[in-house]
A and B are shown apart, each in its own frame.
Chain A
Amino acid sequence: MSAATGAKNWRTLLRLAAFSVLMFGFGYALIPLYPVMCKTLGINQTGVDDRPAVSAQVDETRSVVVEFDSNVHGMPWKFRPLVSHVTVHPGAITQVSFEVVNTLPTPVTGQAIPSYGPPLAAEYFRKLECFCFNKQTLKPGERREMPVVFVIDPALPKDISTVTLSYTFFEVEGNRRTAGRNPGASA
């Protein structure tokens, strides 16, 4: 190997070695780079709600009929909305109430699960307060009026003029007191 080749080899070696040292540093640089990238791209920020904010603007130009439906799934409760439907402007905050009565002589715990028709409307239906956020425990024979505060996002597609909000109460398994009374329960 000639001296010239030897010198050339050393230059190549030093460049490659410098590159690998640089990459070692790059590994460490990734630690601060990741949070910066996530912040710039607006992804994966802990504790930040990345859902788009509801427009505060009330859209007076259109009205949407919101119908209410209520069901109980194998539970000894009476459950009904106090109004069957309301007509609202998208963006306006509205409150309605549901009534529920425990017909049993024992306390019963239930949880309401909402569903929407058409299903597409679900993502435009913002509930600010709802009895369905928590389990509800009713004492023997107790009657309770429970509020739902909601707002329809003005971005709701124009071809949807009626939205149905349906609740179904399910008995919470761990708190089941009515075993044997409904067909779904095991003995």
Chain B
Amino acid sequence: MNATTTANGHAEGHAGGHPDHGHQPAGLMRWLTTTNHKDIGTMYLWFSFAMFIVGGCMALMIRSELFQPGLQIVKPEFFNQLTTLHGLIMVFGAIMPAFVGFANWMIPLQIGASDMAFGRMNNWSFWLLPPAALLLVLSMFVPGGAAAAGWTLYPPLTIQQGMGMDMAIFAIHILGMSSIMGSINIITTILNLRAPGMTLMKMPLFSWTWLVTAYLIIAVMPILAGVVTMTLTDRHFGTHFFSAAGGGDPVLFQHIFWFFGHPEVYIVIIPGFGVVSQVISAFSRKPVFGYASMVYAIAAIGILSFTVWAHHMYTTGMPISAQLYFMYATMLIAVPTGVKIFNWTATMWRGSLSFETPMLFAIGFIFLFTLGGFSGLVLAMAAVDVQMQDTYYVVAHFHYTMVAGALFSAFAGAYYWLPKWTGHMYNEKLGKVHFWLSFIFFNMTFFVQHFLGIAGMPRRIPDYALQFTEFNQISTIGAFGFGLSQLLFLYIAISCIKGGEKAPAKPWDGAEGLEWEVPSPAPHHTWVVQPIVK
């Protein structure tokens, strides 16, 4: 923070700030072989948006089926495949790659490094993603269809299904390798390549959140890889980890899965915390309130996330003492999360606020993510959860944290850094329209699902009782509105790439950090001479 540079970031690299690709292959080979963090970041962002559209279309098919009670559009087997793939694609194909894209673009710029530590590995991390996505999507067309056990892949269903399940398992292996390699790259870059004087406690919060996230990823993605490998060997190689017929324990799968799964939900949200911290600070024209406590809160959330996994399994027949432990440990996470929300609010307090699109998304994030946090506290109570388990209340809860949390913070970051990426200002008016449409339709889609859940509508079922019809229809209309609003974002982003008002090096007067000291668009090579941070 408050970085001043002696080595001038503007002039190094290429005269005139023009990206120079003369020493690189052109066309498709440029993208296949690139080791440049900005190229790779761009590919990650496009890939994740494409997956967001694919997963979103699946969501809309789900919502279409749920528009009316009874079965109209899809068969129940296919409905189950849709819910499973929607979850897998959105978590591993859309949200995680989106934030890795941000990390690739912004971390070297923010810490004054010329590139990521391992360029070739970075290229591999990205190019593993398309085959994995292809495996998931193509699995819908094999005999027996795609995996249909829900994104949590619980046995015994996963042990019984067809080859679509094997394809999903291989896709998870590949996605896991990709994110582990990406995380090793990010940690090495942050630990070893910071500019002189850029101490860890001066590092922008977005880079900090990624440091914690990357450690979480290398700690738990291997466990996911392990547990799906056990499922695979149970299916084909005669092991009995989870197959009860051979003496295995299906509930054990849930324990191991959620030992991965709970840190995973923080992997998804923590980089969003970093984006929001920086956006709120920039548009309040104040340094972020309680920087050190922000760092400690992120670390605390990361560590506590390993101690709460069984709150996903209250109804599996746990002893009461274990339920109590997991209940209190889960509620404990509200403390560091509360610190962060307090600090964001305090950053805005008496700030000189302005409400450009990134700020709107960041404030929308704080408001709606807090709501999602509260419904999480409700679900954390073991006694209440017995009623809510596997109902639409849970669906509403995690969409408030995943969509209004992770996705809104990704939009905040995209609008915040688009001028730096493209060299043009996006259309502010359309950006605001995009926010308000997203905000309204998001709540229309998911707020009513709280009521459906409390009234007892189960999730992952294509049919429902008549009394749930009205709320489901509101939710479906909201979902289509939300989905269509995202095409507006595509339009805004493309027109921002193609042209628009020229962006200065620092388009936001309150923004801080080294990324604003290089010209816009950021030249192909930046910080070849590292800045010195005082």
Interface, chain A (partner B; CB < 8 A): 1, 5, 8-9, 12-13, 16-17, 19-21, 23-28, 30-31, 34, 43-44
Q: Which residues of B contact A (CB under 8 A)?
A: 114, 117-118, 180, 183-184, 187-188, 191-193, 218-227, 230, 241, 252, 255-256, 259-260, 317-319, 321-322
B489 CB to nearest A CB, Å = 34
Residues of B within 8 A of A26 (CB): 222-223, 226
Known: A20-B180, A28-B226, A28-B230. Is A34-B252 also a contact (CB below 8 A)?
A: yes
CA–CA, A26 and B322, complex, Å: 22
Contact B184 A17 (CB under 8 A): yes
Task: Knowing that A9-B192, A30-B259 touch, tell me 9 more A-B residue pairs with CB under 8 angstroms.
Answer: A12-B192, A13-B117, A20-B218, A28-B230, A30-B255, A31-B241, A44-B317, A44-B318, A44-B322
B114 to chain A: which residues have CB within 8 Å? 1
Which A residues are in CB contact (< 8 Å) with B255? 30, 34
**B193 adjacent to A16 (CB under 8 Å):** no
8 closest Cβ pairs, A-B complex = A27-B226, A24-B222, A27-B223, A23-B222, A43-B319, A12-B188, A20-B218, A16-B184
- Flag if B118 contacts A9 (CB, 8 Å): yes
Name the one of B188, B259, B317 contacting A16, with C-beta atoms under 8 angstroms. B188
B188 and A43 within 8 A (CB): no
Can you name 25 A-B pairs with beta carbons within 8 Å? A8-B192, A9-B117, A9-B193, A12-B188, A16-B184, A16-B218, A19-B219, A20-B180, A20-B184, A20-B221, A24-B226, A25-B226, A27-B222, A27-B224, A27-B227, A27-B260, A28-B226, A30-B256, A31-B230, A31-B241, A31-B252, A31-B256, A43-B321, A43-B322, A44-B317
Is B227 a contact of A16 with CB atoms below 8 Å?
no
A43–B183 CA distance with the chains assembled, in angstroms: 37
Chain A residue numbers with a CB within 8 Å of B180 are 20
Say yes or no: A23 contacts B223, CB within 8 Å: yes
Query: Distance (Å) between the CB of A170 and the closest chain B CB?
Result: 27
Determine how close the nearest CB of chain B comes to the CB of A7; give it in whole angstroms. Answer: 10
CB pair B221–A27 under 8 Å, yes or no, is no
- In whole angstroms, what is the CA distance A121 to B184 when docked? 61
Known: A12-B187, A31-B252, A44-B319. A5 touches B193 (CB 8 A): yes
Q: Which residue of A lies closest to B256 (CB)?
A: A30
Please indicate the chain B residues that have their CB under 8 angstroms from the CB of A27 in the complex. 222-227, 256, 259-260
Bound-state CA distance A109–B55 (Å) is 57
* A5 to B: closest C-beta gap in Å: 6
A54 to B227, CA, bound (A): 42
Residue of A nearest to B318 (CB): A44
Residues of A within 8 A of B221 (CB): 20
Residues of chain A lying within 8 A (CB to CB) of residue B224: 27
Within 8 Å CB of A23, what residues of B? 218-220, 222-223
Decide if A16 touches B187 in the complex (CB within 8 Å). yes
Q: Is the CB of B118 within 8 A of A13?
A: yes
A12 touching B319 by the CB < 8 A rule?
Answer: no
Contact A5 B192 (CB under 8 A): yes
| B259 neighbours in A (Cβ, 8 Å) | 27, 30
Q: In angstroms, how far is the closest chain B Cβ from the Cβ of A99?
A: 40
Given that A23-B218, A31-B241, A43-B319 are contacting pairs, would A13 and B226 also be in contact in the complex, using a CB cutoff of 8 Å? no
Measured between C-beta atoms, what is the minimum distance from B190 to chain A in Å? 10
Are the CB atoms of B319 and A24 closer together than 8 Å? no
Of the listed residues A19, A20, A24, the one surrounded by the most CB atoms of chain B closer than 10 A to its CB is A20
User: Nearest-CB distance from A25 to chain B (Å)?
Assistant: 8
Q: Which of chain A's residues have a CB closer than 8 A to the CB of B318?
A: 44
Residue of A nearest to B193 (CB): A5
Closest to A23 in B: B222
A30: chain B residues within 8 A (beta carbon):
223, 252, 255-256, 259
A46 closest partner in B (C-beta): B249
B117, B191, B221, B252: most-surrounded residue (chain A CB, <10 A): B117
Contacts A16-B187, A30-B256, A44-B318 given; indicate if A24 touches B192 (C-beta within 8 A): no
| A27–B172 CA distance with the chains assembled, in angstroms | 15
Q: Bound complex: CA of A168 vs CA of B525, how far in Å?
A: 85
Name the residue in A9, A25, A26 with the highest tally of chain B Cβ atoms < 10 Å from its Cβ. A9
Residues of A within 8 A of B252 (CB): 30-31, 34
Q: Which residue of A lies closest to B214 (CB)?
A: A16
Taking CB atoms, residues of chain A closer than 8 Å to B118 are 9, 13
Report the Cα distance A165→B196, complex, angstroms: 81
Report B305 CB to chain A, min CB distance, Å.
14
The docked-state distance in angstroms from the alpha carbon of A98 to that of B225 is 62
CB-based contact A13/B184 at 8 Å: yes
* Contact partners of A43 in chain B: CB under 8 A: 319, 321-322
Q: Closest residue of chain B to A19, judged by CB?
A: B218
